[in-house]
Amino acid sequence: MTDISSYLRKINSTAKKDREESLTTVLTFLEDKDVYLDTEEMRRIKSFVLIADTPETRKLHESMTTTVDKYLFELVKNLRIDEKELLEASCFYEQVSKVLEKQGLEAKTIIDLCAGNCLAGALWILNGAEMVYFVDKTDSNNSKKVRKQLDLNEYNTKYNYDNVDIFDEKIRTYFENAQKEKGIIVSIHACGSLSDRIIELSIKYHVPFAVVPCCQGREIDDVLRTSGYTVEDAQFHSRYFEDISGYSDLMRINYAIEQGYKIILRALPREITDKNRIMIGIPDLSSYSS
Ligand SMILES: C[S@@+](CC[C@H](N)C(=O)[O-])C[C@H]1O[C@@H](n2cnc3c(N)ncnc32)[C@H](O)[C@@H]1O
């Protein structure tokens, strides 16, 4: 951080050359960082960028600020969907697709579970995925509106929508297809044990997943855990976490790791949602890509 601080100060220099050099260095420094993670380091950089005002700090600010995906904005601009929902989905898409790309995974087929308003899957369609399967227990007005826009823009062959309860055995068809088609499971705000069900089936069918859990603590008995963790452990240790959510997710993470998965964590900006932990699970790729 000492090094980057001196470069940050230079971004405010009167010499253009210094400012540009500083911008390049700070952008490179941020490349492998999670800019939405609420750490002291990120807060320091953001507050510095907000105070200074040069073309370079504005560029830096842009790179650290989430915006609604341009294709999504065009698609839904007249639908009056809450901006928070659009930002949340856009940021999720941005974070997850970056990780998948780095892991060498092509997101041609996406299974958007507990899809709600269908924004996450829509982002993959708009950005070139071949096929998206939306699944939710119930339909909603926003979902219908988003799908109608997809149809009007001739994306109707790029998706399939289905109402299935995730605890119904029929859901396995989607995981079987994901396995065959090298699909990726995604789900934003899968409440309580919905996240566990998604992670457990993804692992069973050996497919990558990206899940944002929420309502942790609800159905705590059903949280996936390794042999080393009990619910009592969770209740005891969670006193030292901000809330039960951290500990529930830690149990899920340990479970996935014990099952041979690599877990990569990313964040959504806290200003958008405080249920902001993205858990990305990658199976052993040697068998996945065969
Ligand atoms: C908090 S919402 C999140 C929706 C969406 N992913 C989003 O980001 O807006 C949870 C979604 O899970 C769906 N859901 C709840 N229980 C379910 C179940 N048992 N099977 C499938 N979907 C379920 C709800 O209908 C709702 O759309």
Any ligand 1 atom below 6 A from CB of 82: no
Could you identify the atom of ligand 1 that is nearest to the CA of residue 115? 6
Ligand 1, pocket-test mutation among 114, 124, 140, 212, most atoms within 8 A of CB: 114
Ligand 1, pocket-test mutation among 96, 137, 186, 218, most atoms within 8 A of CB: 137
Q: Which of 44, 41, 19 is nearest to 32 (CA)?
A: 41
With 0-12 CB in 10 A as exposed, 13-18 as middle and 19+ as buried, what is 188? buried
pLDDT score, position 98: 94
Element (H, E) at 60: helix 55-64
Instruction: State the Cα–Cα distance between residues 163 and 174, nearest whole angstrom.
Output: 12
Annotation: CATH topology of 70-288: Rossmann fold (3.40.50)
pLDDT digits over 148-162, tens only?
999 999 999 999 999
pLDDT score, position 200: 96
Chain centre to alpha carbon of residue 37: 12
Instruction: State the Cα–Cα distance between residues 127 and 123, nearest whole angstrom.
Output: 6
Instruction: State the Cα–Cα distance between residues 37 and 98, nearest whole angstrom.
Output: 15
Any ligand 1 atom below 6 A from CB of 271: no
DSSP code, position 15: S
Any ligand 1 atom below 6 A from CB of 165: yes
pLDDT score, position 183: 97
Tell how far the Cα of 113 is from the centroid of ligand 1, in angstroms: 8
Coil/strand/helix, residue 218:
strand
Whose C-alpha lies nearest to ligand 1, atom 9? 116
Which residues does 205 contact at the CB level (< 8 Å), separation at least 6? Answer: 172, 175, 176, 178, 179
pLDDT score, position 288: 55
Tell how far the Cα of 57 is from the centroid of ligand 1, in angstroms: 39
Instruction: State the Cα–Cα distance between residues 102 and 36, nearest whole angstrom.
Output: 18
pLDDT score, position 264: 94
The region that residue 232 occupies, defined by phi over 0 for left and psi between -120 and 50 for alpha, beta otherwise, is alpha
Could you identify the atom of ligand 1 that is nearest to the CA of residue 214? 1
Residues in the chain: 290
Any ligand 1 atom below 6 A from CB of 185: no
Which residues does 181 contact at the CB level (< 8 Å), separation at least 6? Answer: 108, 109, 131
Tell how far the Cα of 105 is from the centroid of ligand 1, in angstroms: 26
Any ligand 1 atom below 6 A from CB of 137: yes
Which residues does 61 contact at the CB level (< 8 Å), separation at least 6? Answer: 46, 49, 50
Any ligand 1 atom below 6 A from CB of 115: yes
pLDDT score, position 208: 98
pLDDT score, position 287: 58
Tell me the whole-structure pTM to 2 decimals: 0.91
Q: Locate tokens 């500083």: which residue? A: 22
**What is the block-wise mean pLDDT of the chain (290 residues), using blocks of 10 residues?**
75 88 90 86 85 86 90 95 96 96 94 98 98 98 97 98 97 97 96 94 97 83 76 70 78 90 93 93 74
Determine the residue type at 130.
E
Any ligand 1 atom below 6 A from CB of 143: no
**What are the extents of the domains in the chain?**
2-64, 70-288
pLDDT score, position 6: 82
Determine the residue type at 275.
K
Taking a C-beta distance cutoff of 8 angstroms, is the pair 75, 149 a contact?
yes
